[in-house]
Amino acid sequence: IMHRYCGACGHQTELVEAANRVSCTACGKEYYPRINPCIIVLITRGDKILLARSSRRGTDFYSCLAGFIEPGESAEQAVRREVFEEVGLQVTNIRYTGSQPWPFPSQLMLGFYADYLDGEINPDPEEIADADWYAVDQLPKVPSPRISIAGQLIETYVESALNNSAR
């Protein structure tokens, strides 16, 4: 949290309640951190899911597509835009599933599922090193569901697909 001094009276602030906000020591005014909303989406196409590997150095796992929600944009619009920008695909049937706070660097990840609509995978090389469709029994290395919403989206989909195929 950036406010070391109160914007209302100029006195020093202090961290309160597990450092999720600061409060002025003189007038009591509270300051909350800025939170950056982001989307993260798992795209399905029949019995396969789209996973991508980031172009950032040192990234060896595959994950869902993600990005920031821009001002004036709904979360669903951000899903469509980010998917098209990152891999050149169009999606439909966008479904919100849950969220995850990502405190450093102050992000709120909004998780979605979406269905493939149209297009061929064409990764943006500045963001995506590789992207492809994967069957649930042939997944590459993916994030852990214990620590990330990406892993939770993938795990939930895989469990559902395996349960449906067992019927």
pLDDT (tens digit, 9 = 90+) per residue, 52-80? 999 987 888 999 999 999 999 999 999 99
Which of 48, 109, 47, 106 is CA-nearest to residue 82?
A: 109
- pLDDT tier, 106 (very low <50, low <70, confident <90, very high otherwise): confident
- pLDDT tier, 1 (very low <50, low <70, confident <90, very high otherwise): very low
Return the DSSP state at 137.
T
Round to whole Å and give the CA distance between 133 and 121.
9
Q: How do beta strands 36-45 and 128-135 pair?
A: unpaired
> Residue 32: what pLDDT?
76
Can you list the domains of the chain with their CATH numbers? 1-33 (no CATH), 36-165 (3.90.79.10)
pLDDT at 14 over 90: no
Which two structure tokens, joined as six digits, stand for 55?
Answer: 């172009």
Q: Which residue has the higher pLDDT, 33 or 18?
A: 33
> Residue 34: what pLDDT?
82
Nearby residues of 76 by Cβ (< 8 Å), 6 or more positions away: 94, 112
> Residue 3: what pLDDT?
65
Instruction: Write out the DSSP string of 79-136.
Output: HHHHHHHHH--EEEEEEEEEEEEETTTTEEEEEEEEEEEE------TTTEEEEEEEET
Helix (H, G, I), strand (E, B) or coil at 23: strand
Round to whole Å and give the CA distance between 156 and 39.
17
Tell me which H or E stretch contains 15: strand 13-16
pLDDT at 127 over 80: yes
